[in-house]
Amino acid sequence: MRFLHTADWQLGMTRHFLSPEAQARFSDARLAAVRAIGDLAAEQHCDFVVVCGDVFEANQLHPQVVGRALEAMASIPVPVYLLPGNHDTIDAGSVYRSAAFKHRCPDHVHVLAEPGVHEIAPGIELVAAPLNVKHPLTDLPGDQCRALVPNPGVQRILVGHGAVDTLSPDPGNPATIRTGTLSDALADGRIHYVALGDRHSTTQVAGRAIWYSGAPEVTDFIETDPGNVLVVDLDRDLEARVTHHRVGTWSFIAAERHLNRAADVEEFDRWLHDLPNKDRTVLKLGLVGSISVADKARLDEITDTHSDVFAALNVSSRRSDLAVLPDDHDFTDLGLSGFVAAAAQELVGAAAGDPAAQDALSLLYRLARSAA
């Protein structure tokens, strides 16, 4: 048996740091990832696809978002099984119960709305642990494991969503998934693979049969290995073999750059220039160091120029500690006089501890230089 394990599509996701134009491309990329999953499933001869929670970003979405999502799922040529997660819980207001979903849902797309065993083909069972509340009060996959007994001749995949105790920042949370429970169920043959969602970075949890697929498209800067899906083979000995396949095309990069001289500023320009796929790259930068007014003016030119081609380029004030220290040569050759010279002198005095004064001084320098 071969199937494709994915999770956390979060269709309908928005990002505050994206412009409307970039947000539209980001949304299209998430749908493109769904279609790429369909292409991969066909290429790899997968029998079905399991999506382990958070298929949608929220339960309350515009019908257009739901309709476009289902159109993308319709292109997947094998059965698709959707598990409700904490973003799209299967409650009274669930997106899966909406008219928009029911009206357009393809026949081969199935929602694992009921917990327990679902026979999807002779000898193949999915054991579902859907979320009906955002914050469960119990280890739902563990509950399913405890209710099972071995069934020789049947291949079982446990489909769950949530944080495991070995990776959770809050292992005391009653909803935390206990890896010991999963490992015991794997060891005695109650289940044969654990497909998990919630963690957006592709992660092998324990042994060869407990995995987070990660999100197929990046969602945040803290993710270490997003953009993948997993193709899983269960052989006759019920051993799981897992291979990674990349489908994502976007990158979120958080970086710190140290700038202390003109050469550092020019190197920063070259680094930005050499980054690939700028229209699908979001940068969150921290700039640290001390530079002259002339270098700050050059830095502002660089960020202004590159901002036009990246999906987003943000210099974080919280992550930055860049001092502008005027030197005697910054305004010498600009021929300033009168009110402008006095303003420059005042800004020089304030620049040491005032980022706004530093920015104003840089702008004054650029304007004066262009007029000189």
pLDDT beneath 50: ranges in the chain: 328, 372
pLDDT of residue 320: 86
pLDDT of residue 363: 64
Instruction: Using alpha carbons, list the distances in angstroms from residue 207 to 154, 182, 216, 239.
Output: 21, 11, 23, 11
Closest CA to 18 of 281, 277, 248: 281
pLDDT of residue 354: 62
pLDDT of residue 332: 55
pLDDT of residue 170: 84
Closest CA to 180 of 204, 205, 161, 152: 205
pLDDT of residue 82: 98
Dump pLDDT digits (tens) for 64-119.
999 999 999 999 999 999 999 999 999 999 999 999 999 999 999 999 999 999 99
Instruction: Using alpha carbons, list the distances in angstroms from residue 3 to 91, 151, 361.
Output: 28, 20, 60
Which domains are delineated in the chain?
Answer: 2-246 (3.60.21.10), 251-371 (no CATH)
pLDDT of residue 261: 92
